[in-house]
């Protein structure tokens, strides 16, 4: 494929800031890789002077491989990776500047939450009242906003934030004590490093003369500051992104970073990539109509040279089970009609993870293989976390969480009481738990048998620490599993244990694969291959584990779908209160982000989009009536064919039959029968004319109440049966009503 004029301009741009607004499916990865190759091959830039940042490890690997193919050789010295991976790499080299050693651990979210719980316990704060997950989320948000514990404490203004302010410094101290960073630190600590050590910043500014950043619309304050510090001297910063696909505000991403890029770098050249190479014209037209409703955007319109393609199909179902059954039946019908189709061509997208239950059950009933992106991660399975805890403790003897997890697994006769006494003794002497275990015979409160087991455990870890310097991770793991009897312990768990053993063997295979990879040129880093293996594992994301070649239907949330594409895309659960979320109607910025998420879902499709919604849905144990999502309204009717599921169509026919049943006096008991559905249907459903749903009320609208009279709506919250409205009535003042009981009428 030749470059179009806009792509060519972006590839050939040399010096100065460049903002590439790349629409979905516009070939941005090609532009990034070809610009990398162009800088090296045509402009003579040393690969080691280039830093390229992506948002997934998979994208980083693909980009490096494409550049290698374009150049015909390995671009030695070129840094390509995610923000987290690059942050970890910088910290391995410079950890001592901040008081850590290069063998630091990286705590994932679960380990971090566990550490927050320990901090709450130390402060005698009840975890039932102050959930560790919520406290950790607040700390994470503060870190990504570059808010220090001291600044957070000064801003704390309510009971929850004051608790967070107390926990924050205790949590930070615990990380440092264990020579550990959490995920957020991999973004924040490099900024701290640059701001506190001018010589380090100057060295990296000299080295990285050209910066290329993908998915810039998803950067947060820490990532923005990191790039600004590196680029503000030479200004050779190329950012590629799409403001219409900024969907991570909930985890700190700031759309202003891309909207205000030209203010930050006044000499910016702006290039729009609007030619789409993925989707059909109807899909793009629908996507353009949806996203045009947003106000905060730079503006662009996707276009394609592909044909119009099939219309979008909008399907109304009776409930979530009917919706799931219809989707599965449609996949089967497509496969039967098109021999060239495969299960991997289909993805089902949804707003919340809870929606996968009905879909999974429907797929299992039909024996259709599927994979979930964002389900239980391989590296979060119990047995894998146990093995990794051994490796973490071997790599970093100060890792208290790892020690606690495996000191008595497989069982060694070290109970909770023994552990507590050991930790108390260690704390009194300022030792790590592992150091104390090696001296357990000195602890009077511990029995001789338990003390011997602790000393043996400490000796085991020390021996493997020495071994890790000389053997690969795969061999280290095999010896460790053999010596500890780990697999035998799993085998004793019966059939489930056999499955866990297979998972552990898969981990060993992965370790051997890692050993076969050539080490990256990381000259002065003291980290061992084991340290780097653990780093690689900790930085893997859900998308990195998605197998595009697997002959399975893919299920995932819309957030996880970003960056992927499929021939056939189902977007399920398009109902107000679910998608968009109910609270979005109270926050205009959140509503725009929810709309961008829908736009992302639409633009994942190459051939066909299905949009499904249900009349009722069980949520939080209650069956609620549903209203079709307001996001569907901007899509022109001529782009969409509408269907009822057979179940819903049948229930409608039964209802009509009841309406037509004569009363004893020979008249219809319920009035005239409604008009029957239009069209005969086919392809798994009945095509129908739109039936009016319950009225939708908005802020500022004039309404009439049967008792209170005329009024103006001031606030609307909730959805479905839970929808409430605050209304200023002319006769009785302000009232809050439950809409389903109020019998409100719109004033025309």
Pick the catalytic residue from 108, 185, 214, 383.
214
Dihedral Cα 660, 665, 669, 673, nearest 10 deg = 30
Q: Is 29 designated active site? A: yes
CA-closest candidate to residue 278, choices 607, 611, 558, 635: 607
Pick the catalytic residue from 28, 93, 562, 595.
28
Q: Tokens 């162009």, residue?
A: 38
Q: Nearest 5°: phi and psi at 617? A: -150, 140
Whether the CB-CB separation of 652 and 317 falls below 8 Å is answered with no
Instruction: Please count the CA atoms within 13 angstroms of the CA of 155 that sit on its side-chain side.
Output: 9
Q: Is 58 designated active site? A: no
CA atoms of 47 and 42, how far apart (whole Å): 12
DSSP 3-state of 133: helix
DSSP 3-state of 242: coil
Cα angle value 81/84/89 (rounded, 5°): 70
CA atoms of 235 and 35, how far apart (whole Å): 16
Task: Give the burial class of 620: count Cβ atoms within 10 A of its Cβ; 0-12 exposed, 13-18 middle, 19 or more buried.
Answer: exposed
Pick the catalytic residue from 172, 185, 215, 320.
215
Tokens of 651: 């229930």
Pick the catalytic residue from 117, 604, 608, 652.
604
Q: Is 176 designated active site? A: no
End-to-end Cα, the chain, rounded Å:
56
The torsion region of residue 299 among left (phi > 0), alpha (psi -120 to 50) and beta comes to: left
Residues 6+ apart with CB under 8 A from 84: 183, 186, 187, 539
Pick the catalytic residue from 8, 29, 161, 475.
29
Question: Crossing angle of helices 473-484/448-467, nearest 10°?
Answer: 160
Instruction: Please count the CA atoms within 13 angstroms of the CA of 281 that sit on its side-chain side.
Output: 7
Q: Is 28 designated active site? A: yes
What single-letter DSSP state applies at residue 628? B
C-alpha Rg value of the chain to the nearest Å: 29
Pick the catalytic residue from 33, 56, 82, 245.
245
Tokens of 643: 């269907």
Cite the active site residues. Answer: 28-29, 214-215, 245, 604
């Amino acid at each position: 494929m030749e470059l179009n004029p806009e792509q060519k301009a972006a590839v050939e741009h040399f010096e100065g800031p460049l903002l590439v607004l790349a629409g979905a499916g516009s070939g941005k990865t090609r532009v990034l890789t070809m610009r990398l190759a162009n800088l090296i091959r045509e402009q003579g830039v040393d690969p080691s002077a280039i830093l390229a940042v992506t948002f997934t490890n998979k994208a980083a690997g693909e980009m490096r491989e494409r550049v290698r193919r374009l150049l015909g050789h390995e671009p030695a010295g070129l840094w390509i990776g995610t923000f987290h991976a690059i942050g970890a790499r910088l910290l391995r080299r410079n950890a001592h500047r901040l008081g850590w050693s290069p063998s630091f651990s990286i705590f994932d979210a679960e380990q971090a939450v566990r550490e927050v719980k320990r901090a709450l316990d130390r402060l005698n704060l009840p975890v039932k009242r102050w959930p560790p997950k919520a406290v950790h989320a607040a700390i994470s948000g503060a870190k990504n906003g570059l808010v220090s514990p001291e600044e957070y404490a000064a801003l704390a203004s309510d009971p929850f934030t004051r608790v967070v302010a107390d926990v924050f410094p205790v949590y930070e101290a615990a990380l440092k004590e264990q020579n550990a960073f959490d995920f957020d630190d991999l973004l924040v600590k490099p900024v701290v490093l640059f701001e506190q050590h001018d010589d380090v910043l100057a060295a990296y500014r000299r080295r990285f003369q050209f910066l290329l950043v993908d998915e810039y619309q998803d950067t947060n304050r820490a990532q923005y500051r990191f790039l600004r510090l590196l680029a503000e001297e030479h200004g050779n910063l190329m950012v590629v992104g799409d403001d219409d696909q900024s969907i991570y505000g909930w985890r700190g991403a700031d759309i202003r970073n891309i909207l205000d890029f030209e203010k930050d770098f006044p000499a910016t050249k702006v290039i729009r990539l609007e030619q789409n190479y993925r989707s059909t014209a109807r899909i793009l037209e629908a996507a353009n109509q949806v996203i045009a409703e947003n106000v905060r955007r730079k503006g662009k319109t996707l276009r394609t040279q592909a044909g119009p393609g099939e219309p979008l199909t909008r399907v109304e179902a009776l409930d979530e089970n009917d919706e799931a059954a219809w989707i599965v039946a449609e996949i089967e019908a497509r496969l039967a009609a098109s021999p060239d189709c495969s299960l991997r061509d289909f993805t089902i997208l949804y707003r919340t993870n809870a929606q996968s239950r009905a879909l999974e059950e429907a797929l299992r009933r039909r024996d259709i293989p599927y994979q979930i992106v964002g389900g239980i991660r391989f590296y979060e399975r119990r047995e894998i976390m146990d093995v990794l805890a051994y490796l973490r403790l071997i790599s970093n003897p100060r890792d208290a969480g790892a020690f606690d997890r495996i000191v008595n697994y497989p069982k060694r006769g070290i109970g909770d009481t023994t552990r507590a006494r050991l930790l108390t003794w260690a704390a009194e002497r300022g030792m790590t738990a592992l150091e104390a275990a090696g001296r357990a015979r000195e602890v009077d409160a511990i029995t001789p048998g338990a003390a011997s087991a602790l000393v043996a455990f400490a000796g085991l870890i020390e021996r493997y620490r020495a071994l890790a310097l000389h053997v690969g991770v795969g061999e280290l793991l095999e010896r460790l599993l053999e010596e500890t009897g780990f697999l035998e312990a799993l085998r004793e768990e019966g059939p489930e244990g056999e499955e866990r053993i297979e998972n552990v063997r898969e981990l060993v295979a992965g370790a051997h694969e890692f050993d076969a990879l050539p080490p990256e040129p990381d000259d002065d880093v003291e980290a061992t291959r084991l340290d780097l293996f653990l780093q690689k594992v900790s930085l893997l994301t859900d998308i990195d584990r998605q197998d595009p070649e697997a002959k399975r239907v893919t299920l995932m949330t819309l957030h996880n779908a970003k960056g992927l594409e499929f021939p056939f895309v189902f977007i399920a659960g398009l109902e107000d209160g679910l998608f968009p979320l109910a609270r979005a109607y109270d926050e205009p910025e959140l509503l725009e982000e929810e709309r961008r998420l829908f736009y992302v879902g639409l633009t994942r499709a190459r051939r066909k989009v299905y949009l499904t919604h249900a009349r009722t849905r069980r949520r939080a144990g209650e069956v609620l009536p549903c209203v079709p999502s307001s996001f569907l309204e901007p899509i022109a009717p001529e782009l969409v064919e509408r269907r009822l599921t057979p179940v819903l169509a049948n229930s409608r026919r039964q209802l009509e039959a009841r309406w037509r049943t004569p009363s004893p006096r020979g008249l219809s008991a319920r009035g005239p029968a409604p008009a029957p559905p239009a069209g005969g249907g086919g392809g798994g459903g009945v095509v129908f004319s739109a039936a009016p749903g319950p009225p939708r009320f908005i802020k500022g609208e004039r309404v009439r109440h049967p008792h209170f009279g005329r009024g103006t709506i001031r606030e609307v919250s909730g959805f479905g049966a839970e929808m409430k409205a605050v209304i200023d009535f002319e006769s009785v003042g302000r009232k809050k009503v439950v809409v389903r009981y109020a019998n409100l009428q719109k004033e025309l």
